[in-house]
Amino acid sequence: MECGRFQKQWGAEFIADDTVRFRVWAEGQKTLSLRLNGADSEMVREADGWFTLDVRGAAHEDEYQFVLADGTAVPDPGARAQKGEVSGPSLVIDPRRYPRQDAGWRGRPWAETVIYELHIGTFTPQGTFRSAMDKLPHLAELGITQLEVMPVAQFGGSRGWGYDGVLLYAPHSAYGTPGDFHAFIDAAHQLGMSVVLDIVLNHFGPEGNYLPLLSPAFFHQDRTTPWGNAIAYETPAVRQYITDAPLFWLSEYRLDGLRFDAIDQIHDTSGHHVLVEIADRIRAALPDRHIHLTTEDSRNVVFLHPRDENGQPARYTAEWNDDFHNAAHVFATGETHGYYQDFAASPENKFARALAEGFVYQGEISPQTGESRGVPSLDQPPEFFVDFIQNHDQTGNRAQGERLITLAGAEKTRVLQAALLLSPHIPLLFMGEEYGETRPFLFFTDFHGALAKAVREGRASEFAGHAGHDGEVPDPNDPDTFRRSTLDWASAESEAGREWLAFVRELLALRQRYIVPLLAAGGSAAGRIVQTEFGAVAVSWHFGDVTLSLALNIGVAPVAIPALAGNTLFHWPQAQDALEPNSIIVRLAEGDAQP
């Protein structure tokens, strides 16, 4: 009997009620044994280096490992769960043990999306899926429609951002069990929120990766990435592992989408790019649900995002727009270190272009690299761009992990947040941003020995290329670095926190009422820069006979309010004759309304 909604090719799968098939690609091994509940059995070597063993009587949560010829016991790279730490026993998981509580859920349309990025380990003091569930009503009431969970694939140690995962099918055991993650997702769905997962397919972490022992051919020996030898995506068994993983998370956990990390580092020389294959498989397998696939790509490209005859995404849905963040950051702080030097000249013009057109760099030469970057983006629909004024990367890639509110002040940050939430691009809030969190989000790990030393020294060296690198870099392996990054929920209950929450709640209500219908109608939106001057910008977007306009000032002197058509949707801090410092106005015009 076939069991489960998705049959993986790697790992332990129930092929009948009482029979589990264990399967792994270990072309580097002549013999391999399965250690199940302490007893070893030799596995059958098949063609092309696959090892298989069917075991009758294996049960849910049985412990197992693969034993190499030299006696080394390693976890299953395709495991659905670990008993504990990354190098210990894997667990047999029967997906039938997790009945869904959200049977009618089909997701939410992309046009409605307001993303909330969170890290399970620091979202609550307990740092678990179960404790995170307690905060979900707070986010739903606020107006959040999508949770974006930073990577949860099992990684070395108990603490980390998650981008060094090595078991790509197993939720990190420190966060909870597979059942706990199912419960978290069910709870979000019952509150009307989608859940997407950040997934890393460009490298494996430095601890707990035993694939080089099992199958050296999993990696190119003559090609490297910033994190080590490059993955051999062209090899059939490797490609199976990589392309199955995204579909596994969407099918088994009923997630509503995925965010693909740093896809510019995925180099596939086959005739059919692995990222195209992944998207095509997902679209074919899950046609009846709202599945949202976003990409992070520093190249500012759009070739993975074609649209069908109805204007709907045929493969990937949208792109993280780092240009928006970088332009907003320089505009607000004046910092020009590292990659911010690309936005140093005329920052108000670059921020206005990011609002109006999406990408700032659309083929222009980058001052940082001396090379051209990007492609034209004006013809992309506004919902192609996922915008943010802060996220895990842009805070954590600072020595002290400061948030924008610390660097630019509360008033500037509030104005930029309003622009983010009332623009027609898809907005993303980083956890705590909704109540004005001031605690840092630092880079933290849980490595030991030589690896801990290498990470500590390497991170300190890396910060020389980033803004905010002055002072001593906190040790990533110090538990206090992790604790300092945990949200302070008491701040949300303070007077300032409640005021900030009310501010965000109002903005999201306005977005739902006025902006979402414009996006839901489909089609393009012609964005244009209306005006820029020192510290101030004005832009507009034309949706057929409807015009949305926005003007803001974060400079030190008042500026005249530009001629913007229509009725005022929002004016902060209050209606004025001019745009005072740290103020914003948003208007909406229908039909032939003129300024």
Report the catalytic residues.
261, 296
Report yes or no: 504 and 116 within 8 Å, Cβ to Cβ.
no
Give me 184's structure tokens: 């978290």
Peptide bond into 573 cis (omega under 30): yes
Distance CA(547)–CA(499), nearest Å, equals 30
Distance CA(549)–CA(527), nearest Å, equals 9
Tell me how far the alpha carbon of residue 288 is from its chain's centroid.
23
Of 402, 378, 396, 385, give the one whose Cα is nearest residue 321. 385
- What number of other Cβ atoms are within 10 A of residue 392's Cβ? 24
Residue type, 150: M
Angle of helix 410-422 versus helix 322-333 axis, rounded to 10: 150
Residues 398-419 as b/e (b if ≥16 CB within 10 A, e otherwise) read bbbbbbbbbbbeeebbbbbbbb
Q: What is the DSSP string of 249-305?
A: HHHHS---EEEETTGGG----SSS-HHHHHHHHHHHH-TTS--EEEE--TT---TT-
H or E stretch at 33: strand 33-36
Give me 382's structure tokens: 């506004």
